[in-house]
A and B are shown apart, each in its own frame.
Chain A
Amino acid sequence: MNDNPFALWVYLSQSPLLWLTVTLLTYAIADAVSLKTNRNPLANPVLHSMWVIGVFLLLTGTSYTTYFGGAQFVHFLLGPATVALAVPLYENRMQVAAAILPMLAALAVGSVTAIISVVWLAEAAGLPRTVVLSLAPKSVTAGVAMGISESLHADPSLTAVAVVLTGIIGAIIVTPLMNRFGITDFRARGFAVGIAAHGIGTARAFQVDAVAGVFAGIAMSLNALVTSLLVPLAVTLLVR
């Protein structure tokens, strides 16, 4: 046995093993709860994993850098998962080809709305300039948004937080909102949540309907493309 009971903790808390386990275990429990509630939007597994792990880090005085040492293995998979979206796209290519014009129109309007609305609202709310800039790419997937934020000399880690919060809000709001407006076209519903709330919205769409999931995935990847072109332009035009 160890003389010092803290020695084990000191060792474990610095190893990737502990933080990877904490991430997967917390998510597995959050996901099981979400399943138990019949995928109630408020039981969003990302939201609940986030605060549970966050509180755990604060209580144990662990830095985010240490945590990320383990969690980076999960974070890394965002890239391959984006590539993997080719498969649902391929499998539903007929349906996608049939809806190509509505998709392009919705992409143009949606990506512009996502950027302009957040920049204007953030300025109107009197948020500091770095925060406004960091919020601009919030509707695209984390890796891409952080890259855009870096090129604007904003705060990429703040952008990452904004991206995840946006995704969670979108995933929670989309089902009640679309039902409220009586929208039954799952292609349109999925496409909208993919534009507004990237991968977390796409994950939600796959839970609701397979077709919605496919359209969300396409929207998410197209939006990543368009937003990386639009944000620098919008920022020079809108931010004083």
Chain B
Amino acid sequence: MIASLSLILLCQLAGEVIVRGLGLPMPGPVLGLMFLLWLLLARDRFNILARGPLAGGGVETTSRGLLAHLSLLFVPAGVGVVQKLDLVAAHGLAFAAVLALSVVLTLLATVGTFLVASRLMLREKKSAP
């Protein structure tokens, strides 16, 4: 478990170092995600990598543990609303309404595009000889 956690942190660290070092406009943890994914895929191909946290489902179990309570991790940032009570009093309703409307629009636009695109793809596959 410690080795798995270290591997996850190492991926994040490598991501941060590269993002900061090269001034890339992307978040370090996202690059870390790509590193871990690459390691998992490489392990299936090269047996030599299948050791430590990459063997016997070590890093998989730890990751699942971290993700099981993903929403807990947002609580500290959310409590930050106590610092913004003046703003809530002044614009709270507009603020919430704007966010809610934008969320609904985003959900519908995304789900619609996904469904249309996957239907187009299916049709193309069927019409192909």
Contacts and interface: CB of A to CB of B under 8 A. Distances in A.
Interface in A36-87: 44-46, 49-50, 53-54, 57-58, 64, 67-68, 71-72, 74-75, 77-87
Interface string B96-118: 11111111111111111111111
Interface string A113-138: 11001100110011110010001001
Contacts of B35: 83, 86
B114 to A, nearest CB: 4
Most buried by A among B34, B40, B69: B69
B70 A225 contact: no
A158 B87 contact: yes
Contact of A53 (B8, B79, B97, B112): B79
Contacts of B45: none
A131 B87 contact: yes
A162 interface: yes
Interface in B60-100: 60, 62-64, 66-67, 69-84, 87, 91, 94-100
Q: Which secondary structure characterizes the binding site on chain B?
A: helix
B26 interface: yes
A25 B55 CA distance: 34
A160 B103 contact: no
A94 B2 CA distance: 29
B36 interface: yes
B18 to A, nearest CB: 14
Nearest to B93: A125
B102 A118 contact: yes
A192 B79 contact: no
Given A127-B94, A192-B107, A84 B62 contact: yes
A87 B73 CA distance: 18
A72 B11 CA distance: 21
Contacts of B116: 105
Interface residues of B, number: 71
Interface residues of A, number: 108
B67 A135 contact: no
Given A99-B118, A189-B111, A81 B104 contact: no
A221 interface: yes
Nearest to A103: B114
7 contacts: A53-B75, A54-B82, A102-B117, A131-B95, A162-B99, A169-B103, A228-B26
Interface of A: 23-24, 26-27, 31, 44-46, 49-50, 53-54, 57-58, 64, 67-68, 71-72, 74-75, 77-91, 93, 99, 101-103, 105-110, 113-114, 117-118, 121-122, 125-128, 131, 135, 138-139, 142-144, 147, 157-158, 160-171, 173-174, 177-178, 181, 183, 185, 187-189, 191-193, 195-197, 199-200, 202-204, 206, 217, 219, 221, 224-225, 228-229
Given A86-B63, A127-B98, 18 more contacts: A44-B71, A72-B76, A77-B66, A80-B29, A83-B36, A85-B67, A99-B118, A101-B118, A103-B114, A105-B114, A114-B102, A157-B83, A191-B111, A192-B114, A197-B103, A204-B71, A225-B30, A229-B26
